[in-house]
Amino acid sequence: MLPSPPLAALSKAAAAAAARRAATVAARSRRRLLVLPAVASLVPGPPPALCRRVRLMPQLEGPRAPPPPHGRGFAAAAAGGDGATLDAGDSELVVVSFYRFADFPDHAELRRPLKELCEELRVSGGIILAPEGINGSICGTPEAVEKVLNFIQSDDRLKGLRMIQSPVTPEDEAIHHGHTSQSPVGAGEDAPFRWDHVRVKLKKEIVALGDPGVMPTKTVGKYVKPKDWNALISDPDTVVIDVRNMYEIRIGKFKRAVDPCTNSFREFPSWVDDQFQLAESDSQLCSENNDNTIGRQSEDVNSSKPKELPRVAMYCTGGIRCEKASSFLLSKGFKEVYHLEGGILKYLEEIPKAESLWEGECFVFDKRVSVEHGLAQGTHKLCYGCKKPVSDEDMESPEWEYGVSCPYCFATKSEEEKERARARQRQFETWGVIGGPDKGRSPKRLEANHTAEEPKQLSSSV
């Protein structure tokens, strides 16, 4: 047995944990209103009373109306035909996530006009263009977003975008800080986005699986409506697979669902090969987050013969990953492959909680972090150290420090990385943006650029 630590060490650790929790509470209250100092000075001079909120999105005149409730009254738009029609309710802004697989070899030609249109209409977000189609999530006024979606669908190959629409609260108009391309909420997977500008990126895939032979434009599994999903996954002969990542599955999943224990979607093909074909009797599913029912289900999978592949039902957040995964399974010889149309979000929107087979909350790639039935705001928060969801219980851990670390990333970060995170958090709490008023750029360089631009502005005015 290991010796117990001295009482002094325990007291010190407890005091440190208490200090972190106090800092977390203070940070939460401060982050509700993001402020920047007056533009007249780049040095921290003016007192907080002279600071103002920066609004980055166009505002309508008149009093602000409260945002509409989530759920059935704010249905996702399913665009078909010649244009998109958005149900905006009383909200000034909307967020629309969309995708479509298509044969799109000349995708690069769309980047510039699409980016210019978004900038002109002040639509923010992230859009990915690839030879296999388009994937994006954008935010703006209903009229502006509708114009962007109609412009995209002016190309016949991109008509019929699959879309999910959500309202935006006034707080979400503030700068959405801390996102990187290496994180779950960075640009890339499911096209997450920042609120202060638009990114239109060119990539090899709109959702990265890493297998160029998988083509959802040629073949996909059978779509299952949310109202028919319960019957399918309740059948003991159906293997239910969650194609999301571990950090997403950790906070919620469907009953009987198998967790492939992947850290990224690229790992899914290897898991399928190992689980169903290459190691029939020896492969074992990760037991974390899987109950006894799932354990018995995995035994059935492992005992099946290579040519007797089971019926599979898959699901993901909004539908894009399981649509591509279904194409992959069909290419591997599976005959019965089903996937949830509209993903978990559509299911939670349409199916009453009393009839639901969903357990927990659904991780989403925006500032809500998680949602429950009816798309109501969930209880999880985001660790800005690793961009993974944390619960209230996680935030009671001595390893939790707001903006720095949580129980899931504390051991993987060096002290140098934690110090950088603390410095970044102090910048945000002081200035409202990462990097201070200069956004991390050299003040001298900013001044030189400003001086160089003055003659241009003068000549144009003359």
CA atoms within 13 A on the CB side of 317: 28
* CA distance linking residue 383 with residue 404, whole number of Å: 7
Q: Is the dihedral of CA 199, 203, 207, 208 positive or negative?
A: negative
> How far apart (Å, rounded) are the C-alpha atoms in residues 327 and 219?
6
How is residue 122 written in tokens?
């002040």
Alpha helices in 318-385 (DSSP H): 320-331, 343-350
Helix (H, G, I), strand (E, B) or coil at 224: strand
C-beta neighbour count of 442 within 10 angstroms = 9
User: Quick one: CA torsion of 240, 128, 173, 83, rounded to 10 degrees?
Assistant: -90
Amino acid at residue number 154: S
Residue 18 φ/ψ, nearest 5 degrees: -65, -40
For residue 83, what are its two tokens? 């244009």
| Active centre residues (catalytic) | 316
Beta pairing class for 124-130 and 198-202: parallel
- Which residue, among 190, 173, 124, 114, has the nearest Cα to 148 in the 3D structure? 114
What residues are paired with 241 via a beta bridge? 258, 314
Distance, CA of 18 to CA of 24 (rounded, Å): 10
> Which tokens go with 402?
């707001």
